[in-house]
Each structure stands twice: as C-alpha cells, then as structure tokens.
C-alpha cells in the first residue's frame, strides 16, 4: 500500500467541509421547522441527492458491492427493485404527500398521520415514536459498524477508533446544523457516491483485461455468477431470494427518513425536477456497486470479507490521493444515512412526544436545544451498540430498513390513495407490520427459504390496514380532501 498521507489529507479536508456545513446550517436550526425540515425551502437538486444517498447508506458501498462479489448477476435483482421503488415514490407518492403535509403544516411524518386521521388521542404519534426509536438505534449502529470497517480497511486503524471518529463528526454537524446541514451534506455525499460508482467498476473491469476477459474469468470461477437466478438455478430458494432483493426497493415508498425529503421540498415543481435527478442516479448507484463487486471478485478472488472489496480495490488500483476520495465516499454513504436517522429520531421525541403529545409549554428555541441533546443521546447509544459487536452490514441494515418500512409504508400508501382508511386501520397496520417483520426473522425466515422479512411485514401490514378499516369509520371529510389532493397530484409529471 502507498503511503497513507494522501488518504489522511483528503479525509481531513472532507471532515472540515462537514464541520463548516454544520456551522453554516446552525443559522436556520433555531426553530423546530428549521431544525427538522430546513424550513421547507430545499431546492430540487438537494432533495434528489439527499433522498437517494439517505436511502442507500453503507449498505450500498460495502454491503451491495460485497453481495455483487458473492453472487454476481443475481444481485441485479436489487437494482431492479430499487429502480422501481424510487420511480414509483417520486412519480406517485411524493406529490400527494407534499400537498397533504403542506396543507397540514407538518414537520414530521407523524404530524401528517395524526392530521390525516384526526387522531386527537395521539396514539399514532406514540406508536410511531416507539417503532422509530427501536429501529433507528439498530440501523445507526450498523452504519457506525461500517465506518469502523472502512477505517480499518483503508488506513489499518483500530475498529473502535473508526467507529468513534465517524460518530463524533456526524453528531457534530447534525446537532449544530440540523436538517439543512444534513441535506446539503447529503448533496455532497451523493455526488461523491455517484462519481465513485461510475469510476470504480470501469477501472476494475479494465484492470481485469476488459469486458470479455472479465466475463470469462467470472465464468471460470463459477458459471452461476453470470446467471440472474444464482447458484441454485431456477428453484424456490433462488426465486424467493430474487423476490426478496426486488422487495428491498419497496421501502422507498413510505420510510419516514425518505418522506421527510419530500416534505422539505421548496415546492411541487422542485419535486418534479428532483425526480429527473433521483431516478437515473439510483441506477448509477446500484449498477455501479454490483459491477464493482464483480470486478473485485475477478481481481481479488480470495477475500475473507467480501464487504471490504471496495476498499481493497481502491487501495490496489489507485494512488493514495484517489484512495482517500474512496474512503470519504464510503464515509459519505454512512453519514448521509446516519444524520437523517438521528434527525428522524430526535423529531419523534421532541416534536411528536414533548411538544404535541405531552403539550409541554416550552419555547421553540428551547425545544430545538432539547432536540439537539436528544440527537446526541441517541447517537451515543448507537455508538455503544456498534462498539459491542461487528455485524454483516448487508443483512443487518436490511433488517432495520425492513422494520421501519413495514411499519410505515402500508399505512402511508393507504392514507394517500384510499379514502376509506381509518385511524384504527392505520394503528393496526403500523403495529402488525413492525411485529411481523421481527417475528419472521426470529422464528420463520430460516424455514421459508430465507424469504426477506419485508415481504411478510408488508403483507401483514396491508392486510391489517385494509381489514380493520373495512370495519371502522374513516375520518369525516377524508374523501373530499383526497379528491382535492389528487387534482394537484395528477398534473403532468415529466
């Protein structure tokens, strides 16, 4: 390995930029709307990159590249699922959700659900807060685990040092700068991820002798790497695996950390323009990750940990200054998700519980300070969890990703498109989707071809929302309200 001086130089510059963004964003983080949704003033290009990079995380650069390394073309089912998820989210979900939340003056997703279902008892807020806090801590711990792997792979640094340094920087700019700093840092991080995943697979394939040599080498290692159905061929295990990979993209339709981007958009026009950036961006992200992993399989076929394929490739193929850019890109993927999760969890505690449920009479400036303290506490809890055990990033992130998605997506989708959805149905769907995901992982997954837990979570969640709603009364005026919303949402998309 070349001297690590260039890597450290690039890393130091990147961390200084993030700290500067934190100070810059602090001017607008003194109110709750400023701290949690940047005053709803974000332009199209910011929400596009922020949404896409938040949805991907270290799972993309370490987890999906590792999956490409292990299973080859079979990982392309993930690409299909995420492309469809992002396309449907921006085309069909974003505009009505933005219209609803603007009318309700919502700051959080729970603001929207409470207003949509006229929940004066705040049951939806409390249920949502419990789910968010439990999953966010696990999700954030997995991301910090990735930062430890990244520092260890690139610089040979101690795992605990890498985890701690990553956590400290994220907590600083998130706490000081709020959602504005988060969104603009996501923009920077998204551009880095885009560039990295354009460059690395091309460099890897060229280093392996070009496309024909690349394909032939994979065929010699294992012909199954070049088949969409994987090593099992067309059997139930492979089919269930492909379905599970496609289902990963469904989370883009209703996960709160992603919906917040639509809420924070400056206007409906910015959502339309943002879609034109986000949709092609997700293709570059995912295709690049899979093919980078496959190129790494050709060049370094004996890696003990496939999730280190990107660091190994960058170190071996590029000079140290470029390797430093790859390191900060991995950190960018981690940070773009962790900062959003911390803001989401903090908003659940401060806005949904303290201000709206308990009705504590505190000035907004003080509430904003409490929000920052909560951000630090949650981040510290995740740091402690990450220091306790190293996990497989791909699968652990998918578990947390599916837990949040199965709890919220069925309720969000029904609330946007079915006027007969009721408060009881929404509550039942959130609880049952969340519980079903956990129960499936603990008791059934191994016995059912490792079927991805989001699928039973979605099935149970949708069944409960619809079933309970059929036997309860929808909110007064919901039909007329939805008709009005859809008039705006059905205007030309492209």
* Confidence at residue 381, expressed as pLDDT on a 0 to 100 scale: 82
DSSP at 250: G
Q: 77 near 218, Cβ under 8 Å? A: no
User: What DSSP line would sit under 6-74, residue for residue?
Assistant: HHHHHHHHHHHHHHHHHHHHGGG-SSHHHHHHGGG-B-HHHHHHHHHHHHHSHIIIIIIHHHHHHHGGG
| Position 232 pLDDT exceeds 90 | no
Rounded mean pLDDT, 177-194: 81
Q: Which residues contact 284 (CB under 8 A, 6 or more apart)?
A: 194, 197, 198
Q: What is the pLDDT of residue 231?
A: 77
Nearest residue to 457 (alpha-carbon basis) of 469, 441, 476: 441
- The percent of residues above 70 in pLDDT, for the chain, comes to 94
Distances (CA, A) of 22 to 32, 171, 195, 335: 16, 10, 24, 13
Please state, in angstroms and rounded to a whole number, the distance separating the CA atoms of residues 371 and 436: 31
Residue 67 is encoded by which pair of tokens?
Answer: 């999956």
Most confident of the following: 176-185, 239-248, 283-292: 283-292
Output the six-digit token pair for 437.
Answer: 């995901």
Q: Does the residue 455 lie in any domain?
A: no
Whether 473 is covered by a domain: the verdict is no
Whole-number mean pLDDT of the chain? 86
Q: What is the CATH number of the domain that holds 360?
A: 1.20.1730.10
Rounded CA separation 352/346 (Å) = 9
Query: Any idea which of 22-26, 194-198, 310-314 has the lowest mean pLDDT?
Result: 22-26
Identify the pLDDT of residue 143. 73
The answer to the question of residue 140 being in a domain is yes
Whether the CB-CB separation of 249 and 86 falls below 8 Å is answered with yes
89: containing domain: 5-391
Q: Using 50, 70 and 90 to split pLDDT, how confident is the model at 60?
A: confident
Total domains, the chain? 1
* pLDDT recorded at residue 494: 45
Among the residue ranges 207-216, 256-265, 313-322, 385-394, the one predicted with the least confidence is 385-394
pLDDT of residue 491: 65
Question: Which of 76-80, 329-333, 408-412 has the weakest average pLDDT?
Answer: 329-333
Q: What is the pLDDT confidence band of residue 493, given thresholds at 50, 70 and 90?
A: very low
Q: By the 8 A CB rule, do 339 and 193 touch?
A: no
Can you tell me which residue has the tokens 């309720």? 411
Alpha-helical segments (H) within 57-122: 58, 65-71, 76-88, 94-104, 109-116
Residue 258 lies in a domain: yes
**Structure confidence at residue 395 (pLDDT):** 61
Cα separation, 70 vs 49, whole angstroms: 28
Q: What is the gyration radius of the CA atoms in the chain, in angstroms?
A: 22
**pLDDT tens digits for 438-460?**
999 888 888 887 888 899 999 99
Q: Give me the sign of the Cα torsion angle 36, 38, 43, 45.
A: negative
Phi, psi (degrees; rounded to nearest 5) at 342: -65, -40
Residue 301 has pLDDT above 60, yes or no: yes
- pLDDT value at 396 more than 70: no
CA distance linking residue 432 with residue 430, whole number of Å? 6
Q: Is the pTM of this model over 0.85?
A: yes
Confidence of residue 311 (pLDDT cuts 50, 70, 90): confident
Residue 360 lies in a domain: yes
Task: Tell whether the model's pLDDT for residue 95 goes beyond 50.
Answer: yes
Would you say residue 400 lies in a domain?
no
Contacts for 31 with CB less than 8 Å, ≥ 6 apart: 39, 364, 365, 368
d(CA 173, CA 194): 22
Residue 267 to residues 95, 252, 273, 336, 420, Cα–Cα distance (Å): 9, 20, 10, 23, 28
285 within a domain of the structure (yes/no) = yes
Highest mean pLDDT out of 3-17, 292-306, 344-358, 478-492: 292-306
Average pLDDT over residues 205-211: 95
Tokens for 9?
A: 């130089």
**Does any domain span residue 461?**
no
At residue 434, does pLDDT exceed 90? Answer: yes
The arithmetic mean of pLDDT across residues 478-483, rounded, is 94
Residue 21's Cβ-count burial label (10 Å; 0-12, 13-18, 19+) is: buried
pLDDT in tens, 10-39: 878 877 887 787 777 777 666 777 777 777
């Amino acid at each position: 390995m070349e001297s690590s001086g260039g890597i450290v130089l690039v890393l130091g510059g990147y961390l200084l930029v993030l700290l500067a963004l934190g100070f810059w964003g602090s001017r607008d983080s003194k109110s709750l709307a400023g701290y949690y949704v940047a005053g709803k003033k974000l332009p199209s290009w910011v929400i596009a990159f922020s949404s896409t990079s938040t949805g991907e995380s270290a799972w993309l650069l370490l987890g999906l590249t590792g999956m490409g390394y292990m299973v080859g073309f079979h990982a392309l089912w993930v690409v299909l699922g995420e492309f469809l998820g992002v396309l449907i989210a921006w085309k069909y979900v974003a505009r009505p959700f933005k219209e609803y939340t603007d009318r309700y003056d919502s700051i959080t997703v729970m603001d929207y659900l409470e207003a949509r279902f006229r929940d004066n008892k705040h049951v939806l807020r409390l249920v949502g807060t419990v789910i968010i806090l439990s999953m966010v801590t696990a999700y954030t711990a997995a991301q910090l685990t990735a930062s430890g792997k990244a520092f260890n792979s690139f610089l040979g640094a101690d795992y605990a040092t890498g985890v701690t340094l990553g956590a400290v920087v994220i907590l600083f700019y998130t706490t000081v700068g709020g959602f504005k700093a988060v969104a603009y840092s996501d923009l920077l991080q998204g551009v880095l991820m885009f560039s990295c995943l354009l460059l690395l697979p091309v460099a890897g394939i060229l280093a392996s002798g070009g496309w024909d040599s690349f394909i032939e080498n994979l065929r010699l290692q294992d012909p199954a790497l070049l088949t969409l159905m994987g090593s099992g061929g067309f059997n139930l295990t492979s089919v269930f695996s492909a379905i599970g990979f496609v289902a990963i993209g469904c989370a883009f339709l209703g996960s709160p950390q992603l919906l917040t981007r639509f809420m924070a958009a400056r206007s409906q026009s910015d959502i339309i323009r943002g879609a034109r950036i986000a949709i092609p961006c997700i293709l570059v992200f995912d295709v690049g990750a899979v093919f980078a992993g496959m190129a790494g399989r050709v060049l370094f076929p004996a890696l003990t940990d496939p999730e280190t394929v990107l660091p190994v490739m960058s170190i071996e193929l590029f000079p140290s200054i470029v390797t430093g850019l790859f390191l900060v890109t991995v950190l960018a993927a981690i940070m773009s998700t962790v900062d959003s999760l911390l803001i989401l969890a903090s908003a659940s505690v401060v806005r949904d519980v303290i201000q709206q449920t308990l009705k504590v009479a505190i000035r907004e400036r003080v509430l904003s300070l409490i929000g920052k303290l909560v951000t630090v506490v949650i981040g510290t809890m995740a740091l402690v969890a990450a220091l306790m055990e190293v996990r497989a990033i791909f699968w652990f992130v998918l578990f947390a990703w599916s837990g949040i998605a199965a709890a919220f997506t069925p309720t969000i989708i029904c609330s946007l498109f079915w006027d007969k959805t009721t408060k009881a149905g929404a509550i039942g769907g959130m609880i049952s989707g969340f519980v079903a995901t956990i129960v499936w992982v603990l008791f059934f997954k191994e016995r059912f071809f490792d079927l991805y837990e989001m699928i039973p979570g979605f099935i149970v969640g949708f069944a409960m929302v619809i079933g309970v709603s059929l036997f309860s009364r929808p909110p007064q005026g919901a039909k007329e309200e939805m008709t009005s919303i859809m008039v705006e949402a059905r205007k030309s998309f492209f």
